[in-house]
Chains A and B, each alone.
Chain A
Amino acid sequence: MPRWGMVIDLDRCTACGACVAACKVENNVQIVSPEESERGRRMHWLRLLAEAQGTYPNARIRIAPNLCMMCDNPPCTKVCPVHATYLGADSLVGQIYPRCIGCRYCMAACPYSVKVFNWSHAEPPAGMEAIQNPDVSMRPRGVVEKCTFCHHRLQAAKENARAENRPVREADYQPTCIHCCPPDAMTFGDLDDPLSAVSQLSRSARATQALEHLGTEPKVYFLERRDAQV
């Protein structure tokens, strides 16, 4: 089975936020009210986290996407009391919304802070119920959710492959953030296929993982910025 992974090239990333918006739209992630937003309850499966070091004018500003790292040794699945978050055979860390009891232990355990909680029930904004993506279930209040690498797209790819009586190929499936990234900074595919772009990039000299030292074995790699040769 493919081991799905992602490489994000921070040299190409312009921090435009298209991935953030695309993810919200594709996965029916709730838009919370301004008051809830002010209280820290915004829901993003994918965020841009900015870190500024130094002072003006020489401040170094690093803005990088933060999403579920789909760890191969996930700290969140270890602590879930009801097997609502789990590392599936398809190498994705899944989330079973009907089973989640909302204890938020996985949120406390995730060192990347990528899990999001439904603090209340929010309907889509007025008039916008009809444009929700029918492939992705809406989550009720009180459950935890997170990036699923657009698992519904993997499902669709598997169905197509089954209909055509062949295995799923790398090119069949791509999360929406990869698709809409304007500078093509995100690459996705099978990390176990030595010929795939994502596998080769993940072994490049510039490749790092977030919080590598924790041993979570994330499947999301970052290629650090290059210095200009001037």
Chain B
Amino acid sequence: MTAAGLAAAGSSWFTNRLFAMAQEGTLRVPRGAGQQRWVPTLCRLCPAGCGIRVRMVDGLPVGLEGDRAHPVSAGGLCPAGLAGLQELVHPDRLRTPLRREGPRGSGRWTPTTWEHALESIAAPLRQLRLDGHPERFLVLERGDSPLTRFWLERVMRAYGSPNLVLDGGHEPWRAAWTYVAGAAHPPAADLVHSDFILSFGHELFETDGHPVWQSKVWGRLRAPDAQRPAVLAYVGPRVSPTAARADLRAAIPPGHEALMALGLAHILITENLIDRSFLERWTSGYHEPGTGAGISWPGFEGFIRQRYAPEEVSRRTGVPVSEIFRLGRAFGNARRPIAIVGPSPLHAEDGLAVAMAVVALNLAVGSVGRAGGYVTGGGAPFALPETVVADEVARRGLASPRMDGAGSATLAAVAQSPARLIANLADGKPYPAAVALIHGTNPAHEWAGGRRLGQALSGVGTVVSVATILDESTDCADLVLPESSFLESWGLLPSPSLMPFDYAGIQQPAVEPLYQSRCFEDAWFALARRIGGPPAAAVPAGSYAEWLPEAAQGLLAAGRGTLAGSEFQGRIADFMESRGWKVAGPASPAAFWEALRSSGAWVDVPRAERSPADLLGPGIERYRFWPAPLLAEAARVAGSPVAAEAIYMGPKAAALGGAERDDDAGAFPMHLLLFDTNTVWGGRTALTPLMLEMTGHREDIAWDSWLEIHPDTARRLRVENGDRVRVESAAGSLVTRARLAPVVPPDAVAMLRGLGHRRFGRFATGIGAHAPSLVPAQVDVWTGTAITTTRVRVTPAKA
């Protein structure tokens, strides 16, 4: 090549690059006529199911925003939801069913067909029933969607397995209400009518409950023209964004929520701020001591007076006495106070005690069964098929104890104990599993001890994962079924039971499935049909999308509620109904379904006066401070008699006579606090590049995890902001970056959950460090929940 030739080639390469530079910034997507339509649907990235509208232009989804007309979220949406379209078009989404090639975990897959995949699952399942062991079918599911759960339970019941393990629940809270009130479901917090919200580690505005709805309520409670804006108080060790926003804060060491709650009860009692009439009429065990199930208990009032004086509480928590008084008085003087508790304190040791203490605090101020307090949770009157009748084989299977020990190794009221599942699977106790199906959850990444899932499943013959993308849990599977994105699927979401009103939101696809994926429900129906026999009879003949309009008929038949519309329409309808008029709506089922589709939701706000009787279960007349069934169960589970006080203090503290437990600092001097952000949501939404970039957007940290550390502690360890640190616990270690901030106590560090994926698409894999690795697999004895607190040691890590 001559020099001239080289020069010419070089210059044309250069010129081409220059032209390319000039063409940057043009949208290279083919444009059509610009026809636009909006599809109202729901975001399903978390259990809240906020209403969204997807903007379609020329058949392409180009925008996503909150749906203003939605009765719950009213246009609000969290960051993860706003990035929803990125999940739809993620380049690593599963396109076909996959079959494992090579050993489990090798990451080698070949595409296969749905028929082949479903047959590979159905065949062993049929065999199991023939062998008389249907209970060996295990399903691991998130449990976000009540209708999905309905169909799962229905088929599992027809099939004969009790092992539907859901990991999204908060069992200590549910169990506490079950025992105290006999309620089957935990009640809803009527925050919108409250004037004082006391949060025990409940991250109202981040990831707990329904953050968008809670934020909407907050916006109304703190409107600029509100005469007496509601007050938010936060009790917890970490200054989370919710705590930063709170008006009052009590910074307690980790694990002292129950102590603080009962300390506040003491203030209420001594300052005479309790709701006497409520306690007299609706509770038992407040004044007088008693006996039941062979255990005697003190009167609640006496119990508190004796042990929870403010000086004692202050000594053990470090909160000044004056602040305890201030908080207690403010809570007690409010007209409609309510105390709520988040998942984090419930996942510490003695989670049940925390739940019981917060319930008791609410009872003390009578915030049960009235506006602004705890009220019946909502649902939706869907038209559901009759309960399926289990045949002989199924009945025997259903009678087996659950694989996760819920109800047998735990208190009877506990329905789910996923924390114990992995250990049980590994031991083959109480019996081995033969077929496992995982959907909607990523236990290998999200559960403490999840890294051992693969090993635990090694004895299981067939493992199936239904997922949108390959992740750590699919690594443990033999078959992977591609699940459609929520933007490609149909659904109906009834009010998560923490809403104080009835509601049904409709989820409808914005696009046809891009690949060969199916929505989970259709895959489940197809599997049930293939198994044949009772499971096949239990599912509808057609698809899930075809069944949904039938379910929705229940809403029309209920004769109440309205379809979502503009706020004006809603108020007019409200006004007229309150005067006894019936607002004319769609008459025929078909018209109703169409109207539901275009409006996006159905809602019915109860008009009847609330009453404390609402929450009491059948045969229960009063809220029990000392539920005898709970005491009996506690003794059974512990295997020995248990003091009654243990249900408020935790078994160990009660055994020590109420003294402080010996906190063994030793090699690991710092408490580790785990938290979630509303960007990566514990890992689920770390899929999208936008959320990975926004992981720590308030902290100026992107694409990385971080450890929050007190500046004085950091100085002592010679760690500066941004330095990499090694965090070690008895269970594992990791390296991440330090963030110095006055948001944690000097003897604690906090780290976010959700990153450190080893397999989760090209954007998330390898980003950040995996915080749950630091937590040993510990299970709370009574409630079977995972204990997520642990102690660690922090040292600087050389780059």
Q: A180-B77, A226-B229 are in contact. Are A63 and B244 (CB under 8 A)?
A: yes
Task: Say which one of A69-77, A138-146, A212-220 lies at the interface with B.
Answer: A138-146
With contact pairs A134-B57, A182-B76 given, residues A25 and B85 touching in the complex (Cβ less than 8 Å): yes
CA distance A138 to B62 in the complex (A): 14
In the complex the two chains form, what is the Cα distance from A44 to B694 in whole Å? 10
On chain B, the residues within 8 Å of A180 by CB distance are 65-66, 75-77, 82
A128 touches B89 (CB 8 A): yes
Q: Is B385 an interface residue (CB 8 A)?
A: no
A164 within 8 A of B: no
B417 contacts the other chain (CB 8 A): no
A138 proximity list for chain B (CB < 8 A)? 24-27
Contacting pair A12 B248 (CB below 8 A) = no
For the complex, is B616 an interface residue (Cβ under 8 Å from A)? no
Q: A138-B26, A201-B224 are in contact. Are A59 and B82 (CB under 8 A)?
A: no
Q: Which residue from B34, B689, B745 sits with its C-beta under 8 Å from A125?
A: B689
Q: Which residues of A contact B624 (CB under 8 A)?
A: none
Segment touching B, from A47-55, A78-86, A109-117: A47-55
Residue of B nearest to A184 (CB): B219
When each residue 136-158 of chain A gets 1 if its CB lies under 8 Å from chain B and 0 otherwise, what string results?
01111100000000000000000
Q: Does B743 touch A at the CB level, under 8 Å?
A: yes
Contact A125 B763 (CB under 8 A): yes
Q: Is the CB of A21 within 8 A of B241?
A: no
State whether B218 touches A16 (Cβ < 8 A).
no
The answer to whether A140 touches B25 (Cβ under 8 A) is yes
**Does B330 have its Cβ within 8 Å of any Cβ on chain A?**
yes
Give per-residue flags for A102-136: 1 if the beta carbon is below 8 A from chain B beta carbons, else 0: 00000000000000000001000111111111100
Query: Does chain A have a CB within 8 A of B652?
Result: no
A211 within 8 A of B: no
Residue in A59, A132, A206 whose beta carbon sits within 8 Å of that of B239 in the complex: A59
Contacting pair A130 B29 (CB below 8 A): yes
In the assembled complex, B749 has its CB within 8 A of some CB on chain A: no
B697 interface neighbour in A17, A126, A182, Cβ under 8 Å: A17
Of B206, B219, B697, the contact of A20 (CB 8 Å cutoff) = B697
Q: Does A24 contact B (CB under 8 A)?
A: yes
Residues of chain A contacted by B26 (CB below 8 angstroms): 138
| Nearest A residue (CB) for B331 | A230
Q: For B746, list chain A residues within 8 Å (CB).
A: 56
Cα distance, A230 to B196, chains bound together (Å): 10
Residues of B within 8 A of A179 (CB): 65-66, 68, 75
Provide the residues of chain B in CB contact with A165, threshold 8 Å. Answer: none
Find out whether the CB atom of A63 lies under 8 angstroms from the CB atom of B241: yes
Q: Which residues of A contact B29 (CB under 8 A)?
A: 129-130, 132, 134
Chain B residues with Cβ under 8 A from A31's Cβ? 689-690, 693
- In the complex, A160→B222 CA distance in Å? 35
CA distance A132 to B58 in the complex (A): 13
- Binary A-proximity of B764-778 (CB < 8 A = 1, otherwise 0): 000100000000000
Kindly report which residue of chain A lies nearest to residue B699, judged by CB atoms. Answer: A50
Q: Would you call A131 and B62 a contact (CB within 8 A)?
A: yes
Pair A16/B61 contact, Cβ less than 8 Å:
no
Q: For residue B698, which residues in chain A have a CB less than 8 angstroms away from its CB?
A: 15, 17, 48, 50, 63
Are B205 and A14 in touch, CB under 8 angstroms?
yes
Cβ contact within 8 Å between A223 and B248: no
B294-335 interface bits toward A, Cβ cutoff 8 Å, 1 = contact, 0 = none: 000000000000000000000000000000001001100000
Q: Which residue of B lies closest to A187 (CB)?
A: B224
Is B752 among interface residues, defined by CB-CB distance under 8 A? no
CA distance A184 to B31 in the complex (A): 35
Q: Does B178 contact A (CB under 8 A)?
A: no
Given contacts A17-B679, A181-B76, contact A37 B89 (CB under 8 A): no
- Cα distance, A204 to B767, chains bound together (Å): 46
Q: Which of B703-717 contact A (CB under 8 A)?
A: 703-704, 710-711
In the complex the two chains form, what is the Cα distance from A42 to B694 in whole Å? Answer: 10
Name the distance in Å between A61's Cβ and chain B's nearest Cβ: 4
A61 near B239 (CB under 8 angstroms)?
yes
A11 at the interface (CB under 8 A from B): yes
Interface centre among A16, A127, A132, A141 (most CB of B within 10 A): A16
Contacts A21-B83, A134-B29, A138-B25; A34 near B76 (Cβ below 8 A): no
B185 at the interface (CB under 8 A from A): no
A168 at the interface (CB under 8 A from B): no
In the complex, A57 Cα to B745 Cα: how many Å?
A: 7
- Check if A199 is an interface residue, CB within 8 A of chain B: no
Within 8 Å by CB of A21, from B61, B90, B694, lies B694
| Cβ contacts under 8 Å, B743 to chain A | 52, 56, 59, 61
- Measured between beta carbons, the chain A residues less than 8 angstroms from B63 are 25-26, 133
In the complex, chain B residues whose CB is within 8 Å of the CB of A184: 76, 216, 219-220
A226 to B230, CA, bound (A): 11
Given A25-B63, A179-B65: A34 in contact with B216 (beta carbons within 8 A): no
Q: Is A18 an interface residue (CB 8 A)?
A: yes
Segment 180-209 of A: residues with Cβ below 8 Å from B? 180-185, 201, 204, 206
Tell me if A15 and B90 are in contact (CB < 8 A): no
A22 proximity list for chain B (CB < 8 A): 65, 77, 82
User: In the complex, are the beta carbons of A17 and B24 less than 8 A apart?
Assistant: no
User: What are the residues of chain B within 8 A of A25 when measuring CB–CB?
Assistant: 63-64, 82-83, 85, 690
- Min Cβ gap B88→A in Å is 8
How long is the Cα–Cα vector from A70 to B222 in the complex, in angstroms?
Answer: 27
B86: chain A residues at CB < 8 Å are 125, 128, 131
B60 at the interface (CB under 8 A from A): yes
A18 vs B73: C-alpha distance when bound (angstroms): 13
Is there contact, CB below 8 Å, between B219 and A18?
no
Cβ–Cβ < 8 Å partners of B704 in chain A: 34
Q: A26-B63, A127-B90 are in contact. Are A230 and B79 (CB under 8 A)?
A: no
Kindly identify which residue among B242, B247, B711 contacts A14, using a CB–CB cutoff of 8 Å. B242
Report Cα–Cα, A127/B248, bound state, in Å: 46
Of residues 140 through 159 on chain B, the ones whose CB sits less than 8 Å from some CB of chain A are none
Contact A14 B85 (CB under 8 A): no
B120 at the interface (CB under 8 A from A): no
Chain B residues near A182 (CB-CB < 8 A): 73, 76-78, 205, 211-212, 215-216, 219
Instruction: Knowing A18-B77, A21-B83, A182-B77, say if A131 contacts B702 (CB, 8 Å).
Output: no
Interface 1/0 per residue, B677-701 and A, CB below 8 Å: 0110000000001101110011100
Compute how far the CA of A185 lies from the CA of B224 in the bound complex, rounded to whole angstroms.
Answer: 10
What's the nearest-Cβ distance from chain A to residue B92, in Å?
8
Shortest C-beta distance, B56 to chain A (Å), equals 11
B673 smallest CB distance to A (angstroms): 13
Given contacts A21-B690, A182-B212, contact A131 B85 (CB under 8 A): yes
Establish whether residues B65 and A56, one from each chain, have CB atoms under 8 Å apart when the complex forms: no
**A23 and chain B: residue at smallest CB distance:** B82
Q: CA separation between A1 and B86, bound complex, in Å?
A: 38
Residues 82 to 108 of chain A near chain B (Cβ within 8 Å): 97
Closest residue of chain B to A228 (Cβ to Cβ) is B247
Using A15-B241, A31-B689 as known contacts, say yes or no to A126 and B79 having CB atoms under 8 A apart.
no
Inside 8 A of A140's CB, which chain B residues have their CB? 21-22, 24-25
- Complex Cα–Cα for A73 and B152 (A): 62
8 closest Cβ pairs, A-B complex: A57-B251, A228-B247, A182-B76, A182-B215, A183-B219, A140-B25, A21-B79, A14-B205
What are 9 A-B pairs with beta-carbon distances under 8 A? A14-B218, A15-B245, A34-B767, A48-B697, A57-B745, A61-B244, A126-B91, A138-B25, A229-B228
Known: A16-B215, A121-B21. 10 other contacts (CB 8 A): A14-B245, A16-B678, A20-B694, A22-B65, A55-B742, A56-B710, A63-B698, A128-B689, A131-B85, A134-B31
